[in-house]
Structure formats: C-alpha cells, structure tokens
Structure 1
Amino acid sequence: MELLKIAYNINLYFIPIIIIFGIIGNILNIFIFTRPALHRSCSIYFLAGSFNGLIILIFGTLNNWFSQILPVLNPIGTSLSYCRFLSYFIYVIYNLAPYFTACITIDRFLSSCPDANLRRLSSRPQTAYIVIPIVIFMTSIAYIHMPIRYTIIRSICQPQPGFYANFFPFFTTGYYFFAIILIIIFGLGTSYNIRNRRQRIQPLVNTNAIVERRRARGDAQLLIILF
C-alpha cells in the first residue's frame, strides 16, 4: 500500500510539472523554428515535432493524468466509441514523434551528402511540406485497425482478446522501432559524410565560402539540437 501511495503522489504532483515544462519547451521551439532565417525543411520537421509534442502533452499525458486522478470523469471505460477514438488518436500522435525525428535525421544526411542534387532536397521547404502529410497519413493508416478491434472489458479499454491482443504489442513495438532504426542508420551516415567532407575541404576565402560556412554553422546547430 505504501508503494501505491508513493506512486499516486508522484503522479499527482510531478506529472503536472513535467507537462508545464514540456508545454513551455515546445512553445519556445515553435518560436525558434518559425524564424525566417531557419526557413528550411529541417526546421519545418522540428516545427512539426514541436506541435506534435504539444498535442501529446495536452491530449495524451494530461488526459492520462486526469483519468488517474479523477477516473469517475473519464468515459473511456464506459463509452466504446470514445475508447476506440481516443486509443487510436493517442497511438497515432505518440508514434508520429519518432518518425518526425527520423525525417530530421534523413534531412541532415541529405544536407551532408557530396551530391549537390541531394543537398538541394534538404534546403527546400517544399520537401517537408510533402513529406510531413505523407508521414501523418501513413501512421494514421497503420493504426486504422484500432477503432475496429479495440473494446471495453471490465471497464478497461483494450485490444480484443485472442489473436489481435497478441498481435498488437508486436505490431506497435515494431512500427515504433522501425523509426529508431532509421534514426540510427541515417545518423551514422551523417557522421560519416561530415568526416569525409572535412577531409576534402580546402581553405577558401571568397564570398561563396563565407556563405557556405554560415550555412554549415546553421546545420551544425540543428544537429546539436537533434542529438
């Protein structure tokens, strides 16, 4: 009982602090990445991730906190439609987070490539405006089975018993970790490209070199934020 009381108190007092600081951090990120000087595809991915982080905190973490503090006011255990919609929505927004990070990592990989055509893809905001809706659409489709196969058992919203209950944990774990694998692969690729580029660079003192160095500094700052 003491452990349950400690867990309850931690949830009661510390989760709101995490939510408040998380909301402040994401709002500050939105202000930073809406600056005209950072109007490139990588910044737009960061911006999408920050908006998604706000949605997770407000509709995911905060809602979960309220449901534990005031369970009587939470209809997820009594309304099947609410159970299915909220579960689907929460899983989609939580799984968007690693894929937005994967988009950033892939973008940084492209920006570090020796091929000029690939580098141009990373500098065009239009690329992000195409990729982000595709990522949202694919994740929404990937979890479209949840509104069909989720149910309420003993006032708990959960997967239907049987094959689906066994399949779902493997599916959601695999879908999440596929993004982690992409992050690792393209992160290592970016590191490799940067090391190779440093070995090839010769001292230049013209205007183009100054512009390129400024752009490189901006890219380095974005990499620091990412990793």
Structure 2
Amino acid sequence: MNTTLKSVSSALLDAPYQLNIWFDSFLWILGNFGNIGNVIIYSHRSYRQRAYGIYLLGEAISDFIYIDFLLLTRILQNGFQISITGHYNFICKIRQFDSVWNPLVSLTLFAFAIIDRILSVQRSNKYRQWSNRVKLSYKICIAIPLFWLVFFAHRLILYKIRNGSCNPLPGFYASFDSYVEAGFTALGVPLAMAILAFFLLRNIRNVTHGKVLPINNNQPVATTTRSNLQQIDSQVAFMLLLQIAISILTRIPYVAQVLYSNITQYWSKSELHIAIENTVIEFIRILSYVFFTTSFYVSIITNRRFRRQVKGLFKKKQVIDHTTQ
C-alpha cells in the first residue's frame, strides 16, 4: 500500500517535467515548421496585396519569435531543469515581458485580420471601404507591438531574481501585475474572440446564402450565387473561425487556472494536492501554446487557396532540384 502510494507520488512529481519535455518539444517542432510555412506563404505577393494577409504575416512572425524564445526556454527550465531566468537577470526580465507581450501582439494582429474580413462583407459602403487597406495594415502592424511594449514595459523594470526565481517586486506591484495579466491575457482574450466569432459567423452565413450586398448606399446588387471572390472570402472566414475556436478552447482552462491560483495562493494544501495541482497547471500552461503552433495546419485543412500555395512551393522546389542535377 505504502509502496504503491510512493510510486504514484513519484509519478505525479515527475509528470510536470515529462509533460514539458515531450509535449512542449512536440509543439516546438510543430510550431517551427508551421510558422516558417506561414511566413513563406503570407510573404507571397498575392497575400501582401490583401490587408488580412499582412496581419497574418505579422502574426506568423510574432508566433515564430514566441515559441523559439518562450517555449524553448520553458522546455529547458521546466523540462530539463536548466535554470536560465534564475541565473540571468536580463533573461528573467525579457522572458516575463515576452510572456504577455508576444501573445497579445499575435492575438491582436489576428483580431485585425478578422475585423478586416468582417468589414469586407458589410452592407454599408461606409464600413466596407475600411477593409483591405493595405497601407493602413502595415502601419497597424508597427503600432500594435509598440502599444503593447509601452503597456507592459513595467515588467522590464520591476521583475528581478529573488531566491533563485524570477518574480515581480513584492507587495502592491505583484498583485497589480497578476490581475493585469489575468484581465488581459486570460479573461480579455476569450471574451474578445467570442465577440469576433459571433460577427464572423454571421458574415459566413451572409456569404453562403448570397445575401444582398450593395455596392453603395443607392445601388444594391442582389447576388443569388456566390462569386469566386466570395468563395475565397468564405474559406478565409471559416479558417479564421476555426482558429478562434482553438484560441477560446485553449484559453478558457488558462483563465480558470489563473483565477484559481490567485484565489488559493494562501490556502493550506497537502503534498499530494500540490503535486496534482502542479501537474494540471503545467498541462494547462502548455495547452495555451497550441494556438500559436497550429494556424498553418488549420489553414491547410480549411483553405483551398492556401493549399494551392503550399503545393506550388513544393512544385517549384522540385523544378529547382531537377535543374540543378
């Protein structure tokens, strides 16, 4: 009986490390291939002529940096027990800053891609003319990282290594920082995505059923069948909708975990309770990286145009290989 309990306890204690070694490593490899693929595809001229393509390119670059810094350091620290943020104050500050900055940059750019698609099928020309503003999209892609940089710059100053771990200054700031993170990266993200999903889903239905889409306020044009452009837009919308679903499903457990940790941080807990809690928390934290590693694969599954671009890349590579032989 005691031997069994000891074995279970050892397995529970080892579970967080194994999760970070195997699951994180799998996501890191998956994400690198996917984000490199996204950068290549969205760098294509046809996507750079569409505002949503610019936003998704910016998102892909942000995701690439995120997993190759934050996820990789997580694997080294939480999986292989190689202390990085506990020894180097500079990395401590940068990592804590990046843990909130990069995801919000990525998700905000993703949100602007959705907004662009929503605006593109509005009935009113006043709203529709704000879609596909390519020059504006470049400016927004610069403004968003700067905005979140200013908003979370306090982490670059007020986080320090204490007792071998990277923590915020104790007292008021620690509580303030914790609730800001919970509000923006936990509660704010699924709420914003749910609102965008509602409007995007409504637009998919409008395009699918061929609703009346006026060219201007005085000259409506009834569309009984979908044009090629509408079909492409509906595929993009469906692709974005599926990614929204992934972001919500992987963020809701994170919301629950952040709230639970804040509420129970001063509770008395048994060693078994702490071991189970640590395993669940590690799994939820790892799950929060799924959105940033899977967009390429979602695009391949849902978007025919995207698949053609990927196939075109392989065909070009085969042609180059044959000419160099």
Q: Aligned equivalents of 2:77 and 2:163: distance in 1?
A: 16
Q: Aligned equivalents of 1:83 and 1:61: distance in 2?
A: 14
In structure 2, the partner of 1:84 is 93
Cα separation, partners in 2 of 1:91 and 1:196, compared to 1, 3 Å: closer
Q: Deviations over 1:46-78 (max 9, x none)?
A: 11111111111100101111123454552x213
122-131 vs 9-18, which deviates more? Answer: 9-18
Cα separation, partners in 2 of 1:185 and 1:7, compared to 1, 3 Å: closer
Superposition RMSD on alpha carbons, in Å?
A: 2.3
In structure 1, the partner of 2:160 is 151
3-state DSSP class of the match of 1:144? coil
Decide whether the 8 Å contact of 1:41 with 1:107 is kept in 2. yes
Q: Aligned equivalents of 2:169 and 2:193: distance in 1?
A: 32
1:140 CA drift (Å): 0.7
In structure 1, the partner of 2:234 is 220
Which has the larger helix fraction? Answer: 1
In structure 1, the partner of 2:175 is 166
In structure 1, the partner of 2:144 is 135
Would you say how many aligned residue pairs link Structure 1 and Structure 2?
220
Q: Deviations over 1:197-227 (max 9, x none)?
A: 63326357xxxx9xx8222122112112212
Q: Aligned equivalents of 1:109 and 1:145: distance in 2?
A: 34
Out of 184, 199, 212, the position equivalent to 1:200 is 212
Q: Deviations over 1:5-45 (max 9, x none)?
A: 23322322332121111111112222222232333011111
Q: Aligned equivalents of 1:121 and 1:190: distance in 2?
A: 16
Structure 2 matches for 1:91-130, cutoff 5 A? 91-130=100-139
In structure 1, the partner of 2:289 is none
Cα separation, partners in 2 of 1:180 and 1:98, compared to 1, 3 Å: farther
179-188 vs 162-171, which deviates more? Answer: 179-188
Gaps of at least 5 residues in structure 2 are: 1-9, 214-221, 242-325
TM-score scaled to structure 2, two decimals?
A: 0.61
Matched, 1:9 2:18: yes
3-state DSSP class of the match of 2:130? helix
Percent identical among aligned pairs is 24
Out of 34, 52, 57, the position equivalent to 1:47 is 57
Decide whether the 8 Å contact of 1:102 with 1:179 is kept in 2. no
86-95 vs 19-28, which deviates more? Answer: 86-95
TM-score scaled to structure 1, two decimals?
A: 0.85
Decide whether the 8 Å contact of 1:121 with 1:127 is kept in 2. no
Decide whether the 8 Å contact of 1:77 with 1:155 is kept in 2. yes
Q: 1:55 is matched by which residue type in structure 2? A: I
